Structure 1
Amino acid sequence: MAEEEMSAVKKPVGLRGRLTARFMGFAHGKLYKAVAEQLALTEEDEFIEIGYGSGMFIKKHASHVRMAAGVDISEDMVNMANRFNRQMVEQGRADLRLGDVRDLEWPDGSFSAAGTVESFFFWPEPVACLKEVHRVLKPGGRLVIGITANKDDKRDFSKVAKQKGFALYGCDDIVGMTKEAGFRECIITRRKMGGGVVNAIIAKALK
């Protein structure tokens, strides 16, 4: 896979990146729904999404929360997501920033819920990143991680993981990393995606 194709997935930039983000937003509709079900967001929640891309998850599944925040490493995605969620931004209920999960700019205990869809396997130093998410969650807060490609699936993702530059994790890996980061419990749910071809992992970690 060409370098620009890899970048369009990991850090979408330019026209290719914007088109990739839009495609991923629609293609991951079932995964978005599964993550949203585990988050069970209400009007009282303050929610942060890590790697929000086009902003479609917030638009479809978090537009009703008290406050939605997020970080993404692509400036193009920041602009795209802010346009896509313009009404929330103008109402002061969305704060979508350029940033890195290793250094979230919000104070301790700022959010009741956190989510990430198809970005966890790109996180550098995942335990350190999880510790930072843990820090900004309120006591009793929850983090939901949704990934399709994983090493517990019967399909071999090792080639595509190498091509696209992401890590492969299984259920035990995610449970272990969340506990190392300070989460008290991690509940795993498996969901069939892609016409039943892929058995995705939905992990819900509780602070």
Structure 2
Amino acid sequence: MNDKKVSITELGDPRKPHGKAGAEMLAGMNTHHSPVTEWALGFFDFNDNDRVLDIGCGGGETINKISKRLNNSTVLGVDYSELSVKLSMEHNASDVESGKVRIIEASVEKLPFDDNYFEKIITVESFYFWPDPQENLKEVYRVLAKSGRFLIVADINGDAELDEDDIEGVQKYQLFNPTLEEFRILLENAGFKDIKIHTQEGKKWVCAEGNK
């Protein structure tokens, strides 16, 4: 990170983005997180009538990528940052207007959806900040449909060889950065089955998959 980016991240608060710095940070995240998101979405076998949820939707680019892959599906996003909800809606304005996309201010601690509602759920670069990861995963499991699939996506993991910037970021922002085995245990304890931990050669990326 250069000095400007560090300043923007600190001022914008990646845990709960706000203000002008938060808006600039979220725009950068839309670009920076795009490659790992594209990779992870390849583990979804989308059906056109799927209901899909993005938890911690940030700047809205993951929702945009999912929406482009589907014609008749409903794509929902949740974030507990008011700014993230606003910018995600702006980023997906035409789909929000048509009703294809809905974005709600809510926390993973209590998702405002019925049991067994979503065929696909994803969270990209937000699991680091979940307030109680083990309990929160049980809430995700609750709203995931039977035979549904859930993906946790991050561009670093606890087994990767992190550089100085990565280590500084983990420490400064108190990121929850599980090892690959810890991802497996967390998903198992929440009730998920057929768990797969995907990695990409030459990258620090992880996509932890749990099914119901």
Unaligned runs of 5+ in 2: 1-5
Partner residue in 1 for 2:44? 39
- Count of aligned pairs between the two proteins: 203
Partner residue in 2 for 1:69? 76
Shift of 1:187: 0.4
Distance in 1 (CA, whole Å) between partners of 2:125 and 2:182 is 16
Please say which of residues 147-156 and 107-116 is displaced more in the overlay.
147-156
Distance in 2 (CA, whole Å) between partners of 1:73 and 1:123 is 11
* Amino acid in structure 2 at the alignment position of 1:161: V
TM-score of the superposed pair, with normalisation by structure 2: 0.89
Shift of 1:6: 6.5
Q: Which aligned runs of 4 or more in structure 1 are off by greater than 4 angstroms?
A: 1-4
Answer yes or no: is the 8 Å Cα contact 2:8–2:22 preserved in 1.
no
Partner residue in 1 for 2:121? 114
Match of 2:57 among 47, 52, 62: 52
Aligned pair 1:29/2:8, yes or no?
no
* Amino acid in structure 1 at the alignment position of 2:38: K
Distance in 1 (CA, whole Å) between partners of 2:125 and 2:9 is 19
CA shift in 2, pair 1:19/1:160, >3 Å: same
What secondary structure does 2:148 align onto? strand
Shift of 1:95: 1.7
Q: Which aligned pairs between 1:136-175 and structure 2 lie closer than 5 A?
A: 136-155=143-162, 157-175=166-184
Aligned pair 1:179/2:184, yes or no?
no
Answer yes or no: is the 8 Å Cα contact 2:151–2:209 preserved in 1.
yes
Distance in 1 (CA, whole Å) between partners of 2:118 and 2:107 is 17
Partner residue in 2 for 1:94? 101
Q: What per-residue deviation string (whole Å, max 9, x for no partner) do you get for residues 97-122 of structure 1?
A: 11100100001011100001111111
State the structure with bigger RCO (CA 8 A, min sep 6), 1 or 2: 1
Q: What per-residue deviation string (whole Å, max 9, x for no partner) do you get for residues 3-55 of structure 1?
A: 97175212111111111111111111110101211123232210001100111
Unaligned runs of 5+ in 1: none
